[in-house]
Amino acid sequence: MSGRVDGKVALISGAARGQGRSHAVRLAAEGADIIALDVCADIESIHYPGPTEADLHETIRLVEELDRRVVAHVADVRRFDSVRAAVQDGVAELGRLDIVVANAGVMGFGQAWELTELEWQTMIDINLTGVWNTVRAAIPILIDQGAGGSIIMTSSAAGLAAIPHTAHYVAAKHGVVGLMRSLAVELASHRIRVNSVHPTTVDTEMINNQYLYTLLTGGDPHGTREAAMAALRAQNAFPIAAIDPLDVSNAVLYLASDDARFVTGTTLVVDAGALAPFKLPHA
């Protein structure tokens, strides 16, 4: 059976776990080889743990289990040289590049005027400049190849609307939309498509941590996942707290595939109605 991205090579940042891993596995299942990168470390000023190299190895194992090839590197999207080296090594090994999923990101909270300079700068450096670094490492390769391509940037519902107490995140994710739209226009003559995906809350380690449980339960240091999920449920029109990584991967796969061959410059929401807007009295 032929896959929807057969014979293509996909670069994915933030691929050690969560949505990035899910995208790697989903695209591999549809025939793509994978260039994976991740920082595989905790990040200063981010209040929940990062993945380890063992997590990245698990992504490698899952892709290889599907009989696809994978080249993986520990690289920090804040450092252009390390991203470019990872991309160039992957392309040398796998022979080409077709799909770029700029997914790596971090989350933080605080009133806009109370964020520390480090919290602000780290957020912008990873969630906005990191996306720019990822795509600018790849674009010259896509242009030289002359076969078009698909760039998908992971923004958020917070890239299209405000979510209180996350101004640095909201600003970075809105910035991704501006970058996406600019590149969609600049790259159209090369038949390189550029789109962004905008998930509501996704059930990954980014939300499954005590820091977030405490925040969402009014500062309770022992706040539970169950109580936090109840708070998150109120953000969606559907009566659910979070979608699964696979829900976002399916949107990424669509944008990566030829099914979307004339889709560019779009903001694709996968949001359980969060941005509808709505006012529903959940039972």
Q: What size, in residues, is the chain?
A: 283
State in angstroms the smallest separation of the CB of 205 from ligand NAD.
4
Residues that bind ligand NAD (CB under 6 A): 13-14, 16-20, 38-39, 43, 50-51, 76-78, 103-107, 126, 130, 154, 156, 199, 201-202, 204-207
| C-beta closer to ligand NAD: residue 87 or 258 | 87
Q: Which amino acid is at 34?
A: I
**Cα 1 to the chain's mean position, in Å?**
28
**Amino acid at residue number 237:** A
Smallest separation, CB 208 to ligand NAD (Å): 9
8 Å CB contact between 152 and 101? yes
Return the residue matching tokens 């090839």: 69
Q: Kindly state the smallest distance separating residue 22's Cβ from ligand NAD, in Å.
A: 8
Q: Closest distance between ligand NAD and the C-beta of residue 133, in Å?
A: 9
Nearer to ligand NAD, 154 or 195 (CB): 154
Q: Distance from CA of residue 112 to its chain's centroid?
A: 23
Q: What are phi and psi of 175, to 5 degrees?
A: -60, -35
For ligand NAD, give the closer residue by CB, 78 or 191: 78
Segments of the chain assigned E as strands? 9-13, 33-38, 70-74, 99-102, 149-154, 192-199, 267-270
Minimum gap (Å) between residue 127 Cβ and ligand NAD? 6
Instruction: Taking the CA atoms of 204, 87, 252 and 131 in sequence, report the sign of the dihedral they define.
Output: positive
Q: What are phi and psi of 13, to 5 degrees?
A: -95, 150
The residue among 74 and 143 lying less far from ligand NAD, judged by its C-beta, is: 74
Cβ proximity to ligand NAD, 127 vs 257, nearer residue: 127
Taking the alpha carbons of 163, 165, 171, 173 in that order, is the dihedral positive or negative? negative
Short-list 125, 141, 139, 148, CA closest to 183: 139
Would you say 143 or 246 has its CB closer to ligand NAD?
Answer: 246
Catalytic, 254? Answer: no
**Catalytic residue (choose from 48, 169, 213, 254):** 169
Q: Provide the minimum distance between the beta carbon of 102 and ligand NAD in the complex, in angstroms, as a whole number.
A: 8
Provide the pairing of β-strand 267-270 with 9-13: unpaired
Which residues are catalytic, by number? 169
